[in-house]
Structures are given as structure tokens and as C-alpha cells.
Structure 1
Amino acid sequence: MTNSEVARQQQHYRAVRERLVRAGSRGGRSAAMAELHAEVKELTAENAAKARRIATLETDLADAEARLLAQAKALLTGRRVAETDAEPTDDRPAIDTIVADVLADFPGVSWEDVISVRRERRLVKPRHACMRAVYEKRPDLSLPRIGRIFRRDHTTVLAVVKSTSEAPADISD
């Protein structure tokens, strides 16, 4: 490579750097980027709010379906269903009440943590305890329904339930 070619390349690189510096100092491009970043933040917040609303609606739907199922069973057995039976009784507490009772034993863990996709070690026991409690206290809910409440597959709920029921008893001498 000759000195004239090197000099030509260096001049070309200087010209390119100068154009890039001028483009950044004009502010047009950075202002557009800032506007896009603000719009992305706004859309992210909207999506998070919608996700929370969907989770609430899914929980409400699960409770309503469980009440309908209980009423249908009662009608099939010939028992008359009273208006007060439509609401969960002491035998069938609401799902959020069950979960709140379980999460009281796990400080720092919220409902959002339990239904999140995160697989942190600190979240596994509370998540499993919540699933197990809902399964035990609400026998009117199916495994797929409980799975939908916790945003998991029904086989995950089944594994949680089996793991506790099949666990060997602690034998102390």
C-alpha cells in the first residue's frame, strides 16, 4: 500500500467522522429517539396494566365457574340452591383469601411474584404452597383451572399436589 492510498483513506475516515459528529449535534435524530423511548415506556406501562387486569379477570372467572359448577351439582342432586350459596362460604373461601393466607408466611413475596414466569428459588416454595392450598381448600376447581389461575400448565399443579401427598413421612425415633 502506498503513502498516497493511506493518505486518501485517512482523509475519507476524517470526512465520515465529521459527518457523523454533525448529524449527532443537530439533535434531530436524538430528539426522535427520545420520543420513541418515551412512547415505548408508555406502551410498556399500558401493557403491564392490561396484564394485571387480565389476571384479575381470570381469577374472577375461575371463581364464577366454580360457583356455577357447584350450583349445577346441587341442582343435579336435587338440593335447592339458595342465593347465599352462590358466594363462597367458609367451606369454599375465595382464591385471593387462600393465597393471601399462604403468602403471609412468606414475607417479601407477592401475588405477582407467584404468577410470574420467574423461576427464582425464593419463589418456588410460596408458589407451590399457594397451589397446594387452593387445591385442598377448593376441591370444586379442576387442575386445568388452578393451572390457569397460576399461569401454569395443569401438569405442574398435578406434580405439586403429588409431590406433597407422596412425600415420605418423617419418622422420628
Structure 2
Amino acid sequence: MRALYKIALLVVVASVFTACFDKSAPNYQYFPNMYEPISYETYGESSAFNNGKEGQLPAEGSIPRGFTPYEYENSNEGYELAKANLESPLDSASIDLPRAKELYTIYCAICHGDKGDGKGNLVKREKFLGVPNYKDRVITEGSVFHVVTYGLNSMGSHANQLSQEERWQVAHYVLKLRSEL
């Protein structure tokens, strides 16, 4: 009989503690902001920013981490300056020819051909015409880097696909192909 009283007492105590519990609004919250966050509308106005309409802008003159500014402008004058003055910051030990060949094959060979002769698959299928042979052009490592960075004529920029170091690798490989033609 005593065990029955203990079980009954346990049921009464448990029902007292759980009777006042409401899942939608718990009594005690350790960090209430974690349970009831403030939701914002996507692209909506917010008082969290200074002007209430757009997000925080980067500080004037700031440069993203890991980014090195390219000081030549996207113009014919910038191209000529890069051709005359720009030199690779990579030393001969840091040039990885197998990696450079791989990058060239992925991004350049489809138009310029595996040998740099201007006879890639897209040219053979007449999707693009007038892709130059590297042998016919007066190019330098700086001019190749400039063209890969900004693009020229029908060729678009590859600055989003290739890092600065990879663009220098490709420029070195293009000059290697030019010397073999």
C-alpha cells in the first residue's frame, strides 16, 4: 500500500509541474533572444544601418584581404603601358609549368589552340574568327597578363576565374608556347 501512495504522490507532483507549462511561451528563458529572434524581411528597410535602406559600405579606399590592386587601366594606353613596363612578380622557382599548362588548357586552348596557333575547337567550328596566332603578335608577359585580366576584342576577362598568381602562370606559359612556334 505504501508503494501505491508513493506512485500517486509522484503522479500528483508531476502533474503540478507540467500543468502550467506552455510550449509556445516557456516560463523561464536563459537567453530570450535565442528563442524569439527578431526577423527581418529580405532586402527590407532596417534601422540597423545608418541610412536605413542599404547595408554598410566598405570604408573608402579599403582593399579586400588577399587582393592586390592592378594599376593599369582598361584602355589602349593601359595595354601599351602594361606591355612596356609590367613584369611578372613570380621568380623562376615559383612558376609551375604543369599547372600553367593545365590552366591554359582549361581557359585558353578552346579558342587559341593547344599550341597557341589560334586554331582551337571554337575557331575550327567557326564560332569565333580572327583569333591570333601568338607568333604573329608582338607580346610581352605584361601584355598577356593585361589581356587576361581585362579581355580584348572578342575575348572576355578571366580575372574572376583566375587569381593574379594564376594569370601570371598563364602569361608565362603563353610566352613559352610563342617561343616554340
* TM-score normalized by the length of structure 2: 0.27
Structure index of larger Rg: 2
Higher helix fraction: Structure 1 or Structure 2? 1
* TM-score normalized by the length of structure 1: 0.28
